Structure 1
Amino acid sequence: MRTQVAIIGAGPAGLLLSHLLAQGGVASVVLETRSEEYVAARIRAGILEHSSVELLEKAGLGDRIRTEGDHHRGIYLQWPGERHHLDFVNLAGRSVWVYGQTEVQKDLIAARRAGGQEIHYEVSDVAVHDDHVTFTDASGQSHRLDADAIAGCDGSFGPSRNAVAAAEKYEKIYPYSWLGILADVAPSTDELIYAWHPDGFALHSMRSATVSRLYLQVPNGTDPQSWSDDRIWEALATRLGHGQNGWKLTPGPITDKSVLPMRSYVQTPMRQGNLFLAGDAAHIVPPTGAKGLNLAIADVALLSKALIDKIKNRDPRKADSYSDDAQRRVWRCTHFSWWMTTMLHTSGDPFDAQLQLSQLKWVANSEAGATGLAENYAGLPIGY
């Protein structure tokens, strides 16, 4: 088999890359270890930055975002007794959209199917070589796929990350996790609530007008089944301020419970020879700053242009600078995600708690502080 770009991973990063390459006249083949149904159903990110929406719209993928997504001007920051709204549009001239990764994946699958994209699902034994990829297809047949370039869009546990032999790795494991739930109940808020509380952080998010997504800070190693539905709603009501200034949290049937460990990870460089990394294969951020999916989109925006120039136009300059160009934004978003995480999650140290409250009050009451959060949360321009 031969193609111009072999893409490992059929999640949003891989499929968006194949879409942008096709629009630039470069062919690709996509390999995925999971089934199409599994990839489409993964419940992950839910916030799209301003720049991500602009890119998706320019690529012809924005129709459902505008009609079915939920446009948000900002977020609420809260601590006991106080809730403050930060209006990103007024502060930074940019906004965000609530539009789940599952919906982005649906749009990409439909677009790639319409474009005749070759995708091999349920492959195994994927191995990355300098100018080709070997794999076993779902029927058990072995293949060699030769390519001018290889894009590793296969996340934390795929083979691409470890194929960059001389990489420097930076990692931070946080001493807490998130217990996340999906509930079949209308959101109790019009925009996300980020709540600091002595019992631990809580977040009220949403997936649609009828589905709420909520999170609680819990110790690492927590078994989600150890939390009953009643215990979850009671903790959420306490931490989110049920009854505060007349606000009420409406409980509902919980359809999913999971625990998400919190960590930061950056690997550099994001290229070795003909292999280029994008998304979670190169970096992981805690979800507090809503940056994971958006970073993957930004990576792919840069990588698609680099590969089109390299393969079609015989100009390697963007490919040669890809890793450095991408990592400017990666480290900025890694810092912002760390900052949001450490500002809002309790450690049990009273001194830390007072520092966090001081910082929250400054952000909420200082235009400069609020603008800094708004600019980073709503998203810096792609190519920053």
Structure 2
Amino acid sequence: MRTQVAIIGGGPAGLLLQQLLHVAGVTSVVLEQRSRDYVEARIRAGVLEMGTVGLLEQVGVDGRMAREGLIHDGFALALDGEIHRIDLRDLTGGSTVMVYGQTEVTKDLIEAAIARATPLVFEAEGVALHGLDTDAPFVTYTKDGVNQRLDCDFVAGCDGYHGVSRTSIPADVLKTYEKVYPFGWLGILADVPPCDHELIYSNHERGFALASMRSNLRSRYYIQAPVDEDLAAWPDERIWDELALRLGPAAAAGMTRGPSLEKSIAPLRSFVAEPMSWGRLFLAGDAAHIVPPTGAKGLNLAASDVHYLAEALTGFYANGAADGLTGYSAKALARVWKAERFSWWFTGLTHRFPDTDDFSRRMQRAEIDYIVGSHAAQVTVAENYVGLPY
């Protein structure tokens, strides 16, 4: 089998790239290691920048999002229960964010791929990349016990942090940067109305907490906890009690408790791999970078990556221009590092670290007080939160 672009990974990055290429008349095949049921069941973030929303509109995969997504004009920053609102729309001249779960985005993109017959291969096992430093790369894999070969012009590595794509770049070429945070997020998903109509990021003496949602009837909450914490030690009632304490009395008054649908602890890390391309291989999304979830940049960075990559590939096939491909890594990384900085900063502002002493705590309080009292500081926060321009 032959295609123009082999896309490794059937998450939102790979699926969105395929639809962008399809609209531009470029052929591709998506290879995904997991089953469709597994991919569609993964619980992930749910805040979309307007740039991401625009890309979904561009490929015509926005119908359900337009009906069910929640437009948020702002978010709240809380300090020991005292809530301060950041008005995104006012501070940025009209920009907002959309709350629509990554799980739903993935489902919509899979449905689009099936409807448009853009090839999508689930349970592709043993994927290996070959000839990446030649003009004739190819991919081998096994499907239903049968060895397969996919010839292509280019390979897009959208297979996440643990995928094969990044590790296919020679070690003497690739440089990585990483910060592992000494805590995780203990998350609970419940079919209850959210405690507020917007997100609340809380810095509390006992640690960080976040009140979020997936819809008007489904809530997602997080608390900072040790990454090796035993979930059995956190029955639902204990989590609800801790959330009420850390989010403060106003949020607690609006909180509806209910049984958890899903409960997990996610580690936090900042990670960047450079370059994001080598030979005929181009990395996008979590294959190239990870951000802590504070500020919800993960999916949105993947979207900007595939926007740049789709533009570069479309330009190559339209007129033979290779400058977009050669410049892809530098262009994508310029935005990646800015988003990494914001996520790192926001995490530092809202969480308690093992070495957070009284002085450090006072510095956090002083910075939040400064943001609350400074229009210029709020503009900076808002511009980064809604997403820097592509």
Q: Rate the CA distance shift 1:248–1:368 in 2: closer, same or farther, 3 A.
A: same
Of 241, 245, 255, the residue aligned with 1:238 is: 245
Q: Which residue of 1 aligns with 2:102?
A: 101
- Counterpart Cα distance in 2 of 1:361 and 1:58: 40
- Counterpart Cα distance in 2 of 1:103 and 1:125: 28
8 A Cα contact 1:178 1:260, kept in partner = yes
- Counterpart Cα distance in 2 of 1:301 and 1:224: 38
- Counterpart Cα distance in 2 of 1:128 and 1:309: 24
- Counterpart Cα distance in 2 of 1:44 and 1:243: 27
**Partner amino acid for 1:278?**
A
- Counterpart Cα distance in 2 of 1:49 and 1:107: 17
8 A Cα contact 1:242 1:249, kept in partner = no
1:3-38, CA deviations, whole angstroms, 9 ceiling, x for partnerless residues?
Answer: 100000011010111101111111011100000111
Of 344, 357, 379, the residue aligned with 2:350 is: 344
Q: Number of paired residues?
A: 380
1:102-134, CA deviations, whole angstroms, 9 ceiling, x for partnerless residues?
Answer: 111121111111110111111111111110111
Q: Which residue of 2 aligns with 1:41?
A: 41
> Secondary structure at 2:151's aligned position in 1?
strand
In terms of mean alpha carbon deviation, does 120-129 or 314-323 score higher?
120-129
How well do the aligned residues superpose, as a CA RMSD in angstroms?
1.2
**Displacement, 1:58?**
2.0
Q: Which residue of 2 aligns with 1:159?
A: 164
- Counterpart Cα distance in 2 of 1:32 and 1:225: 33
Matched, 1:377 2:378: no
Q: Which residue of 2 aligns with 1:309?
A: 315
Q: Which residue of 1 aligns with 2:273?
A: 267
Of 350, 356, 368, the residue aligned with 2:364 is: 356
> Secondary structure at 1:220's aligned position in 2?
coil
- Counterpart Cα distance in 1 of 2:332 and 2:81: 41
Of 263, 278, 288, the residue aligned with 2:284 is: 278
- Counterpart Cα distance in 2 of 1:88 and 1:167: 37
- Counterpart Cα distance in 1 of 2:233 and 2:322: 54
> Secondary structure at 1:2's aligned position in 2?
coil
Matched, 1:202 2:203: no
1:298-356, CA deviations, whole angstroms, 9 ceiling, x for partnerless residues?
Answer: 00011011112223421101001000000111000000000000000012422211111
- 1:1-384 pair list within 5 angstroms: 1-93=1-93, 94-129=95-130, 130=132, 131-137=137-143, 139-165=144-170, 166-243=173-250, 247-347=253-353, 348-382=356-390
8 A Cα contact 2:192 2:256, kept in partner = yes
> Secondary structure at 1:7's aligned position in 2?
strand
**Displacement, 1:228?**
1.1
- Counterpart Cα distance in 2 of 1:270 and 1:85: 37
- Counterpart Cα distance in 2 of 1:116 and 1:56: 18
- Counterpart Cα distance in 2 of 1:108 and 1:81: 39
Give 4+ residue runs of structure 1 displaced > 6 Å after superposition.
none
> Secondary structure at 1:287's aligned position in 2?
coil
> Secondary structure at 2:249's aligned position in 1?
coil
In terms of mean alpha carbon deviation, does 294-303 or 355-364 score higher?
355-364
Compute the TM-score of the two structures, normalised by the length of structure 2: 0.95
> Secondary structure at 1:25's aligned position in 2?
coil
- Counterpart Cα distance in 1 of 2:202 and 2:152: 48
Where does the alignment leave 5 or more consecutive residues of structure 2 unmatched? Answer: none
8 A Cα contact 1:26 1:312, kept in partner = no
**Partner amino acid for 1:78?**
A
- Counterpart Cα distance in 1 of 2:299 and 2:53: 12
8 A Cα contact 2:81 2:250, kept in partner = no
- Counterpart Cα distance in 1 of 2:5 and 2:357: 51
In terms of mean alpha carbon deviation, does 292-301 or 60-69 score higher?
60-69
**Displacement, 1:144?**
1.4
- Counterpart Cα distance in 2 of 1:285 and 1:243: 30
- Counterpart Cα distance in 2 of 1:226 and 1:311: 56
- Counterpart Cα distance in 1 of 2:56 and 2:371: 31
> Secondary structure at 2:153's aligned position in 1?
strand
In terms of mean alpha carbon deviation, does 53-62 or 322-331 score higher?
53-62
- Counterpart Cα distance in 1 of 2:293 and 2:98: 16
In terms of mean alpha carbon deviation, does 283-292 or 108-117 score higher?
108-117
- Counterpart Cα distance in 2 of 1:42 and 1:32: 14
**Displacement, 1:243?**
4.9
